[in-house]
């Protein structure tokens, strides 16, 4: 099989590292062939804080996926998030070079380069330069300028940057694990490949991924990503609030959240009670579900309201024709769709990877949207970033991988 017919996505999250291997199936329908996950303890809010732990989790997740798939992979499409991510729009203009005025691939490259020529602080690097639309001799709204005729070519691009140190540490974690990074991909861009269909991208949709440490917000409209931002809040904050509010250890708070938390605290009177372990050897106590409901709802409301405010700040707030798609583990919380519909005042659904063949069952979960989407993004050739010649490529052999696992 040709190497380009297999692609691996790697989602290094705050709660878990997830690797997904997909292959190009019949009639170009992608098939999931391997999935691996490992608890992640070396990340905080999308940032690597413990390289060794992150490396181990990467090795573990990828090896599981390789075993399931029965293939070995060398390099992967790796997601990046964190509140160090920034994005802005920029424009580039050039004169078309050929005497017959036909726009060539070189012209498209030049105009994108011109749009990219903006001052970026020394400690940041460009992740993606995403063309939004081309303008040929004043005619706007052009998606593909290649082959058209004109004198003046302009482009509107969405530029996404990351803190260099954060990006380098993600790359280092993967390389120390013995793999190459095909491309660092903004997390929502990867997720969109797994959960959004072309109608949603076209008519407008807000994508909100609520993980453990971060909440990624992105807007897609007219086929492109139009806005992206990352909030340093996630399901971990809910767990923390439960631990403090009910005075119980974090591990117990997490269990309580998974078993009982409701984003919408309805009918408190009809609720039962929960046995809660005390802190530092204190006695167990009984706490009403209503008390838990108040804690959870307050934080979930804050989190979703912040995501809503991010969207409201843009020019696209009224253009989300299809509503909001929620992904990430926190999207599994009971009542989140209802609460989000109330806050966004838009239809909301939970995004689950689907319309893929193979071991699809293993990724039917909003937590796997990122890993699966990154792999699918890679299968498409990572077009977006290749177009602008960016990409962190490195061929790292299997031997380094072993070395990485031990040092
Ligand atoms: N049934 C559930 N109800 C509520 N929360 C849940 C449920 N299942 C998982 N979670 C929460 O989802 C979060 C993990 O989600 P996910 O796996 O998407 O995070 P991550 O990608 O590792 O983190 P991040 O994207 O923030 O770096 C945890 O906070 C976990 O408690
Ligand atoms: Mg995540």
Closest CA to 333 of 285, 398, 261: 261
Share of the chain above pLDDT 90, in %: 77
> What confidence score (pLDDT) does residue 269 get?
55
281-305 mean pLDDT: 92
What confidence tier does 40 reach under pLDDT thresholds 50, 70, 90? very high
Write down the mean pLDDT value for the chain: 90
- 231 occurs within a structural domain: no
Question: Is ligand 1 within 6 A of the CB of residue 236?
Answer: yes
Is residue 148 scored above 80 in pLDDT? yes
Whether the Cβ atoms of residue 33 and residue 23 lie closer than 8 Å to each other: yes
Here the CATH number for the domain that contains residue 263 is 3.90.640.10
Q: Where are the beta strands (DSSP E) in 47-204?
A: 47-48, 75-80, 86-95, 124-136, 139-142, 152-163, 180-186
220-236 mean pLDDT: 91
Atom of ligand 1 nearest to the CA of 43: 27
Separation of 368 CA from ligand 2 center, angstroms? 9
Q: 77-98, pLDDT tens digit by residue?
A: 999 988 899 989 999 999 999 9
Q: Around Cβ 389, how many Cβ atoms within 10 Å?
A: 11
Q: 171-187, pLDDT tens digit by residue?
A: 999 999 999 999 999 99
- 119 occurs within a structural domain: yes
pTM: 0.90
Which protein residues have a CB closer than 5 Å to ligand 2 (ion)?
13, 211
What confidence tier does 396 reach under pLDDT thresholds 50, 70, 90? very low
Is residue 216 scored above 90 in pLDDT? yes
Question: Is ligand 1 within 6 A of the CB of residue 298?
Answer: no
Is residue 385 scored above 50 in pLDDT? no
Q: Around Cβ 195, how many Cβ atoms within 10 Å?
A: 25
Last residue of a domain, one of 295, 330, 365: 295
- 216 occurs within a structural domain: no
Quick one: tokens of 273?
Answer: 């009670």
Question: Is ligand 1 within 6 A of the CB of residue 328?
Answer: yes
Is residue 237 scored above 80 in pLDDT? yes
Separation of 274 CA from ligand 1 center, angstroms? 22
Last residue of a domain, one of 161, 176, 194: 161
| Cα 65 from Cα 7, distance rounded (Å) | 12
Question: Is ligand 1 within 6 A of the CB of residue 42?
Answer: no
What's the structural domain count of the chain? Answer: 2
Give the range of the structural domain holding residue 147, as residue numbers without chain letter. 86-161
274-285 mean pLDDT: 84
Is residue 390 scored above 80 in pLDDT? no
> What confidence score (pLDDT) does residue 402 get?
42
> What confidence score (pLDDT) does residue 268 get?
56
Question: Is ligand 1 within 6 A of the CB of residue 261?
Answer: yes
Question: Is ligand 1 within 6 A of the CB of residue 258?
Answer: yes
Protein residue with its CA nearest to atom 15 in ligand 1: 329
Is residue 387 scored above 50 in pLDDT? no
> What confidence score (pLDDT) does residue 235 get?
97
Is residue 249 scored above 80 in pLDDT? yes
Whether the Cβ atoms of residue 153 and residue 93 lie closer than 8 Å to each other: yes
Here the CATH number for the domain that contains residue 99 is 3.30.1490.110
- 141 occurs within a structural domain: yes
Last residue of a domain, one of 129, 161, 193: 161
Atom of ligand 1 nearest to the CA of 11: 21
Question: Is ligand 1 within 6 A of the CB of residue 325?
Answer: no
Separation of 332 CA from ligand 1 center, angstroms? 8
Protein residue with its CA nearest to atom 3 in ligand 1: 333
Whether the Cβ atoms of residue 194 and residue 372 lie closer than 8 Å to each other: yes
Separation of 38 CA from ligand 1 center, angstroms? 13
Weakest mean pLDDT among 164-178, 350-364, 387-401: 387-401
Could you identify the residue written with the tokens 């082959």? Answer: 147
Question: Is ligand 1 within 6 A of the CB of residue 16?
Answer: yes
Question: Is ligand 1 within 6 A of the CB of residue 246?
Answer: no
What confidence tier does 223 reach under pLDDT thresholds 50, 70, 90? confident
Separation of 361 CA from ligand 2 center, angstroms? 19
Whether the Cβ atoms of residue 249 and residue 266 lie closer than 8 Å to each other: no
- 105 occurs within a structural domain: yes
- 44 occurs within a structural domain: no
Pocket test for ligand 1, best of 42, 58, 235, 261 (most atoms within 8 A of CB): 235
- 280 occurs within a structural domain: yes
- 313 occurs within a structural domain: no
Higher per-residue confidence, 283 vs 362:
362
């Amino acid at each position: 099989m040709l190497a380009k017919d297999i692609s691996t996505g790697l989602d290094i999250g705050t709660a878990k590292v997830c690797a997904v291997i997909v292959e190009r199936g019949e009639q170009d329908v992608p098939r999931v062939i391997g999935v691996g996950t490992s608890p992640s303890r070396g990340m905080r809010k999308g940032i690597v804080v413990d390289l060794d732990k992150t490396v181990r989790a990467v090795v573990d997740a990828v090896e599981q996926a390789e075993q399931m798939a029965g293939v070995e992979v060398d390099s992967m499409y790796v997601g990046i998030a964190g509140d160090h991510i920034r994005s802005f729009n920029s424009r580039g203009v050039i004169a078309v070079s050929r005497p017959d005025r036909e726009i060539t691939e070189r012209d498209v490259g030049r105009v994108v380069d011109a749009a990219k020529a903006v001052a970026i602080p020394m400690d940041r690097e460009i992740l993606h330069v995403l063309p939004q639309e081309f303008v040929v001799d004043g005619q706007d709204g052009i998606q593909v300028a290649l082959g058209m005729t004109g004198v003046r070519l302009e482009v509107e691009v969405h530029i996404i940057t990351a803190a260099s140190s954060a990006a380098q540490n993600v790359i280092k974690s993967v390389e120390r694990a013995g793999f190459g990074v095909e491309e660092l991909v903004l997390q929502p861009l990867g997720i969109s490949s797994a959960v959004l269909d072309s109608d949603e991208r076209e008519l407008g949709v807000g994508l909100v991924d609520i993980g453990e440490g971060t909440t990624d917000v992105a807007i897609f409209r007219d086929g492109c990503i139009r806005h992206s931002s990352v909030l340093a809040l996630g399901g971990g904050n809910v767990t923390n609030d439960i631990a403090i509010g009910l005075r119980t250890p974090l591990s117990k708070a997490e269990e309580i959240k998974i078993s009982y938390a409701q984003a919408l605290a309805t009918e408190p009177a009809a609720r039962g009670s929960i046995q809660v372990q005390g802190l530092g050897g204190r006695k167990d106590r009984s706490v009403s579900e209503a008390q838990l409901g108040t804690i959870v709802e307050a934080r979930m409301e804050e989190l979703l309201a912040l995501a809503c405010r991010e969207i409201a700040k843009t020019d696209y707030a009224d253009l989300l024709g299809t509503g909001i798609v929620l992904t990430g583990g926190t999207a599994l919380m009971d009542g989140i769709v209802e609460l989000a519909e109330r806050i966004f005042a838009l239809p909301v659904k939970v995004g689950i990877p689907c319309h893929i063949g193979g071991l699809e069952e293993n990724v039917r979960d909003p937590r796997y949207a990122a890993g699966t989407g990154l792999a699918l993004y890679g299968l498409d050739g990572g077009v977006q970033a290749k177009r602008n010649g960016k990409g962190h490529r490195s061929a790292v052999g299997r031997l380094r991988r072993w070395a990485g696992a031990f040092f």
